[in-house]
Amino acid sequence: MSRKQIFTYVTLVIGLGAAGYLLYHTFREYSVSDIVESVAAIPVSNLLMALLFAFGSYVCLSGFDWAGVRYVKNDLAYPKIGLASFIALSIGQSVGLSGLSSGALRYRYYAHWGMNTEDVAKIVLLSGVTVGIGMAVLSGIVMVINPSDAASVLRLSEAAVIGIGVACLLATAGYLALAAFVRAPLKIRGWTFEMPTLKIAIAQVVIGTINFALVSACLREVMAASADVSYLKAATAFVLANLAIIITHAPGGLGVMEATVRHVMGDQASIGSLVAFRVIYFFIPFFIGLPLALIVEAVFRARKSRSGHGSSIDSHAMAKQPAAVG
């Protein structure tokens, strides 16, 4: 077993342990009937709006892949990009270590459609950068506009939080400047990477920010059913929860998301709203993406089988033809 595999497994075990502890700590005061009752108290209209925001987020996530595909100068059609993105991320975001799990699924699909390993690696890398940019912009906005909540959780002064927010926004502006003016390629182990065009970089900023804004809106919608929750506070809770998820590597942020949001929001985040958010944003897409992945895999195998069968028939027929007389 390689060191990389050992590191991956150790990280997964630590993440699962942290998730289990945080889930126990968050839910220990509630019985199953309490949780069911809390979820049932959320109006259908709020659940439908949360579903709509979640759907919008997954559309934006396909935009991450679209930017990556265009970055490698491939004209793959959007329906295929959207299919690969949804399956990879609906599964990857739930099982954890999203960069590895979703990256493997992306490779399966994009390689089938003619891309090489380097192109797929660049798509995954650019998607990861888009995640970072989107989170940086949303973090910058909420920390500058609503520093008090972040300051109380991070135990920093409001001035320090505002400084962090400004730094996030300046880092994004710096990325756009690099995309506009730097064209020299960067070589890493024989692979060549270069900054995306300014058009693609702007798309990353816009799509990435809208994505996380929609996820925050989804979270706010389920909490607003039982409390007067401002969008900015919900977005702050989501940003801080994601920072905690990055640190712990818990699969799908399980337990970490709930514990952090609960810590930031207090009683405004009912236990039912946390469960509803988990189901809407993670479980429902996962249980759609998993069977869809199996169906697509079956289609791929069937096409490969027919192609191989056709080739063998053609070869057999050619073998039976009489040799030409010279």
- Residue ranges of E strands in the chain: 186-188, 191-193
What is the secondary structure of 58-125 as a DSSP string? HHHHHHHHHHHHHHTT----HHHHHHHHHHHHHHHHHHS-HHHHHHHHHHHHHHHTT--HHHHHHHHH
For 47, the token pair is 């659940």
Domain boundaries, the chain: 3-29+44-300
CA 268 to chain centroid, in Å, comes to: 26
Q: Which residue bears the tokens 């970089």?
A: 201
Most confident range (mean pLDDT) of 39-43, 86-90, 115-119, 200-204 is: 200-204
87, pLDDT greater than 50: yes
- Is residue 214 within 8 A of residue 53, CB to CB? The reply is yes
pLDDT above 60 (res 21): no
Type of residue at 75: D
In this structure, are residues 62 and 81 in contact, taking their beta carbons and an 8 Å threshold?
Answer: yes
Taking CB atoms within 8 Å and a gap of at least 24, the contacts of 188-191 are 191/118, 191/121
Identity at 110, one-letter amino acid code: Y
Q: Is the pTM of this model over 0.75?
A: yes
CA distance 180 to 167: 20
Determine whether 197 is exposed, middle or buried from the number of CB atoms within 10 Å of its CB (0-12, 13-18, 19+): middle
d(CA 232, CA 148): 11
Q: At 187, is the secondary structure helix, strand, or coil?
A: strand
What is the model's pLDDT at position 229? Answer: 85
Confidence (pLDDT) at 184: 79
DSSP 269: S
Q: Residue 109 has which token pair?
A: 């699909």
Which residue has 């809390």 as its token pair?
A: 38
Q: Per-residue pLDDT tens for 123-139?
A: 999 998 999 999 999 99
Mean pLDDT is lowest, of 22-26, 75-79, 282-286, for 22-26
pLDDT greater than 60 at residue 317: no
Contacts of 95 (CB under 8 A, 6+ apart): 101, 251, 252
Query: What are the phi and psi torsion angles at 97 (to 5°)?
Result: 45, 55
pLDDT at 316 over 70: no
Under DSSP, is residue 186 helix (H, G, I), strand (E, B) or coil?
Answer: strand
pLDDT in tens, 166-224: 999 999 999 999 999 987 776 766 666 789 999 999 999 999 999 999 999 999 999 98
Minimal CA–CA distance to 245: which of 282, 210, 214? Answer: 282
Number of residues that make up the chain:
326
